[in-house]
Amino acid sequence: MPEQPHTSPDPGIESAAESPDSLRSLLLTRLSHAGLEPEAHALLRELLPEERAGKKNGGRAEPIQLRSITAAGWRGIGPRTTLELPPGPGLVVVAGPNGSGKSSFAEAAETALTGRNSRWEERRAGDWQKGWRNLHSPDVTPEVGVELAVGERGETVTVRQTWHGNKLDEARVRAEAADGSERKPAEVVDVEALDLARPFLPYSELGSMINGTLGSLHDAFFKLLGLELLAEFDGRVKAAASECDKTIKHADSLTAPLRDELTALDDPRAREAAQALSGARPDLGRVRALLESRAPAAEAELNRLRQHASLAGPDLREVGGAVARLRAAAAAAEEARYGDAEEARRLARLLESALEHQRRSGSANCPVCGTEDRLDRAWAEQARAEVERLQREAVAAEGARKAGTVAVRAVHDLVQPVPVWLRGETSPLASLWQEWAQCRDITHPRELADRVEQAATVLDDACRQEREDAALRLSEHDGAWRPTAVRLAEWLGAAEAAEAARDRRKHARKARTWLRPIIDELRDERLRPFAQRSQEVWQKLCEHSSVMLGSVTLAGTPGRGKVELGVSVDDMNAPAYSVMSQGELHSLALSLFLPRATHEASPFGFLVIDDPVQSMDHDKVEGLARVLDACAKDRQVIVFTHDTRLQQAIAHLGIKATVLRVTRQTDSVVGVEPLTDPVEQALAEARAVSLDPGIPQDVAEHVLPAMCRVAVEAACLGTARRRLRDERGMGLRAVEERIASLDRTKTYVSFALLGDERQHAREAVERICGGGWALVEAFNSGAHAPLPDVGDRKDLVSRTTALATAIRRSTGPQQAGGAR
């Protein structure tokens, strides 16, 4: 749904809220006017992330609408049943009593598109996991599927999930175009969009989504609003300060042990170095001068010796383990060849096609050779078992191939390049290291294992010899001072890094102090349209509630954030979960769900909401009908409910909606039929009886008057409800309470035409439809005894139609003396 317009004191912020891709440029603009020190400014410029590229189609997936939902052998649905849905935006109410199977359709759509079911995720008990298959259809292959209209052209694509085992995870998902070609499910339905703007709200989530910190909703809002860059930016600045802390602590940890070592050494240079390290802040310049006091050539030679003395070659233990794993993976990959995996998949698809043919045709004859009764039940069971075996074989082969690739990469990661200071040398050590480094170019597992094992052993031996030789020469060169000087040089490097880190940390802290309020400001500004939309939904749902929903804000960062709700009762702030009724909590859940699910970046042109009416009073049901009607202006809104109050509210408010009724017969046979206008439906049923020559006259004389009476009473109720709503401003609860007091056809007619006035009903009826009162009296007498003068059946239905039409067209309460 488009964001609501709003005003902002800063044009830059308004621009950011309207353009999801402008955060980086907005931050740069803010930074240029921040007045920070140059170092803090440079640090922020350095750490500011780049904008991530959007999708090829401009950052939005192709639009999707639902055409139908199909289920078989699934939950409360036995034989294959399809729920056809009207195309395009509009409100669809799928009604039916508890246990009729209507929620099974909602769960089927959710499972087919998302691969998950909210009710399963909350109920991990074994009995629930075992009860997902329909008990009355053990021979039906369980499946759920949706037919979608994808893209601007409305391409038909069916996404179907089929189970070939008794476990929930033994399912296969396929997407198929109208021409039968197979599509990748991820190309049809954007997985990230499903996560961010999920169009499904099951009943189980109406309560669960508002418990706790709303962390998942927080993270979804962050991504929808394009705030990931802000979180990443803040994280980088925080990490920079943390890294400085680590560098400083490392240098501090080296100082005390080195000072003790220098103090214990009988050497003037050691004593001078100890003095340099003893102040409140070590004298780095003095230490540097002390280390650089010898001739440059000698110092260069010593540096080279130090490098060789600290030379670390391959870790033979790590190399040995990696090589062993590589050889094992290579053996497994050779045993389960990838080509065999493709063949197994091909055979599995072939058997699945044969099973599908047997299921569709219902014939056991072989379609290839014509052998009769060849494809019987035993063959089907054997074929399904073979499909499962082939699929396991293919998965095993693919896993072995991937494991081999991972093992090769792990060995490559252990092979280090030639150290920079060793490059260019012509020594045997440099040559051996070059041979070791070249192992990264080998991709064949067995060759790589052999070469790495050999090269590592040779190089490790050479490095060990080189270290020993260099250490001996160093000790001979400078005696006891030199090892200490080496450690002093290492300390100096760490201390110099810490010196720079102290300065960088100071600027990082100032940068973050500046950044935090900017992030909060931009985040709240981008969230504002969502908060406004949530408040609008809440006001419609809870118009007469004393509980008010105020601000909706995001606190924290993705993975550690929460949604904070400003709730008040009679202008007093209160925690939401402690003051709201169950109906109000469900209304709050809808208030948070709808802005997210109807975000303009969502590709889903539909919403599926299961049983939102429970726990709501009549006023909230009216508000719900208005909210759903508003959403249905530009979206397909499908609501499943067993509560008839939603249908009453829709009729009461004059909302245009398609109502489908779900019925369930024995053995889980589920049917779906549209609910038409009650007057037209009653007249159609009466007309069908009147035209049926097989119905005896005496039966028709009893049945037809009763059916016609139902049509007239339905017309009276519709007219009465309209007038109570429009002329008296009564709400749904008051209307239904007033209607419930009517008990006879004459009182129905009188109330519809005269309001509370019960006199002169005959004159009012005759005024709008001549002969209508006699017809009403005939209804009453025909309900208790045969009518001797019913006459022509079609004429009775025709006169009933005229009376019902006149009552429905009546524009105001009638009086005996004329229209009032």
User: What are the domain boundaries of the chain?
Assistant: 316-464, 678-819
pLDDT digits (tens, 9 = 90+) for 95-127: 888 888 888 899 899 999 988 776 666 555 455
Length of the chain, in residues? 820
Confidence of residue 700 (pLDDT cuts 50, 70, 90): confident
Check if the beta carbon of residue 691 is closer than 8 Å to that of residue 794.
yes
**Does the pLDDT of residue 691 top 50, yes or no?**
yes
- What's the burial of 545, exposed, middle or buried (CB within 10 Å: 0-12/13-18/19+)? buried
β partners of residue 819: 814
**Does the pLDDT of residue 93 top 90, yes or no?**
yes
**Does the pLDDT of residue 145 top 90, yes or no?**
yes
**Does the pLDDT of residue 167 top 80, yes or no?**
no
Q: Higher-confidence residue: 345 or 608? A: 608
Residue 250: its pLDDT value, please?
92
Confidence of residue 607 (pLDDT cuts 50, 70, 90): very high
Lowest mean per-residue pLDDT among 233-242, 309-318, 523-532: 523-532
Confidence of residue 146 (pLDDT cuts 50, 70, 90): very high
Residue 298: its pLDDT value, please?
46
**Does the pLDDT of residue 354 top 70, yes or no?**
yes
Residue 560: its pLDDT value, please?
64
**Does the pLDDT of residue 211 top 90, yes or no?**
no
**Does the pLDDT of residue 12 top 60, yes or no?**
no
Residue 215: its pLDDT value, please?
62
**What is the mean predicted confidence (pLDDT) over 721-743?**
76
Residue 7: its pLDDT value, please?
35
Percent of the chain with pLDDT strictly greater than 70 = 81
| Distance between CA atoms of residues 41 and 25, nearest Å | 15
Identify the top-confidence range among 470-474, 539-543, 686-690. Answer: 686-690
Confidence of residue 774 (pLDDT cuts 50, 70, 90): confident
Residue 244: its pLDDT value, please?
93
Q: From residue 605, give the alpha-carbon distance in Å to each of 61, 159, 298, 480, 737.
A: 11, 16, 77, 79, 38
Residue 509: its pLDDT value, please?
92
| Distance between CA atoms of residues 391 and 166, nearest Å | 16
pLDDT digits (tens, 9 = 90+) for 469-489: 888 776 765 666 778 888 888
Identify the top-confidence range among 55-59, 235-239, 596-600, 791-795. Answer: 235-239
**Does the pLDDT of residue 24 top 80, yes or no?**
yes
Token look-up 């693919």 returns: 398
pLDDT digits (tens, 9 = 90+) for 27-59: 888 888 888 888 999 999 888 888 765 544 334
Percent of the chain with pLDDT strictly greater than 90 = 13
Residue 388: its pLDDT value, please?
79
3-state secondary structure 182-229: EECHHHHCCHHHHHHCCCEECHHHHHHCCCCCCHHHHHHHHHHCCCHH
Residue 69: its pLDDT value, please?
94
**What is the mean predicted confidence (pLDDT) over 342-368?**
74
pLDDT digits (tens, 9 = 90+) for 493-523: 999 999 999 999 999 999 989 988 888 888 7
Which stretches of 415-480 are DSSP H helices?
428-437, 445-478
Check if the beta carbon of residue 12 is closer than 8 Å to that of residue 31.
no
Strands 572-573 and 562-569: antiparallel
| Residue 606 tokens, joined | 């539909």
Residue 5: its pLDDT value, please?
37
Residue 301: its pLDDT value, please?
61
Q: What is the dihedral of CA 259, 260, 266, 268, to 10 degrees?
A: 10
- What's the burial of 168, exposed, middle or buried (CB within 10 Å: 0-12/13-18/19+)? middle
Nearest to 598 by CA among 13, 89, 22, 68: 89
Residue 84: its pLDDT value, please?
94
Nearest to 527 by CA among 9, 140, 139, 13: 13
Residue 647: its pLDDT value, please?
84
Confidence of residue 349 (pLDDT cuts 50, 70, 90): confident
Please, what is the average pLDDT of the chain?
A: 79
Token look-up 């769960």 returns: 107
pLDDT digits (tens, 9 = 90+) for 458-473: 988 988 998 888 887 7
pLDDT digits (tens, 9 = 90+) for 626-662: 999 999 999 999 999 988 888 888 887 878 899 998 8
- Number of C-alpha atoms within 13 angstroms, CB side, residue 214? 24
| Distance between CA atoms of residues 786 and 698, nearest Å | 7
| Distance between CA atoms of residues 375 and 378, nearest Å | 8
Identify the top-confidence range among 312-326, 415-429, 775-789. Answer: 312-326
Check if the beta carbon of residue 502 is closer than 8 Å to that of residue 248.
yes
Check if the beta carbon of residue 593 is closer than 8 Å to that of residue 211.
no
Identify the top-confidence range among 283-297, 502-516, 569-583, 712-726. Answer: 502-516
The order of strands in the sheet holding 572-573 is 547-555, 562-569, 572-573
Residue 338: its pLDDT value, please?
47
Cβ atoms < 10 Å from Cβ of 50? 8
pLDDT digits (tens, 9 = 90+) for 405-420: 888 888 888 888 888 8
Lowest mean per-residue pLDDT among 370-374, 670-674, 787-791: 787-791
Q: CB under 8 Å to 744, separation ≥6 — which residues?
A: 780
β partners of residue 606: 636
| pTM for the full predicted model | 0.58
Q: Higher-confidence residue: 357 or 238? A: 238
**What is the mean predicted confidence (pLDDT) over 581-602?**
80
What string of DSSP letters covers 136-158? Answer: T-TTSPPEEEEEEEETTTTEEEE
Lowest mean per-residue pLDDT among 140-149, 174-183, 810-819: 810-819
Q: From residue 531, give the alpha-carbon distance in Å to each of 195, 198, 615, 711.
A: 20, 18, 24, 47
**Does the pLDDT of residue 293 top 70, yes or no?**
no
Residue 220: its pLDDT value, please?
67
Q: CB under 8 Å to 552, separation ≥6 — which residues?
A: 527, 530, 531, 534, 535, 563, 564, 565, 566, 592
Residue 729, sorted as left (phi over 0), alpha (psi -120 to 50) or beta, turns out to be left
Check if the beta carbon of residue 769 is closer than 8 Å to that of residue 802.
yes
CA 624 to chain centre: 23
- Sign, CA dihedral 565-544-648-99, equals positive
| Residue 317 tokens, joined | 């233990």
**Does the pLDDT of residue 289 top 70, yes or no?**
yes
- Number of C-alpha atoms within 13 angstroms, CB side, residue 594? 32
**What is the mean predicted confidence (pLDDT) over 526-539?**
82
Token look-up 């924290």 returns: 556
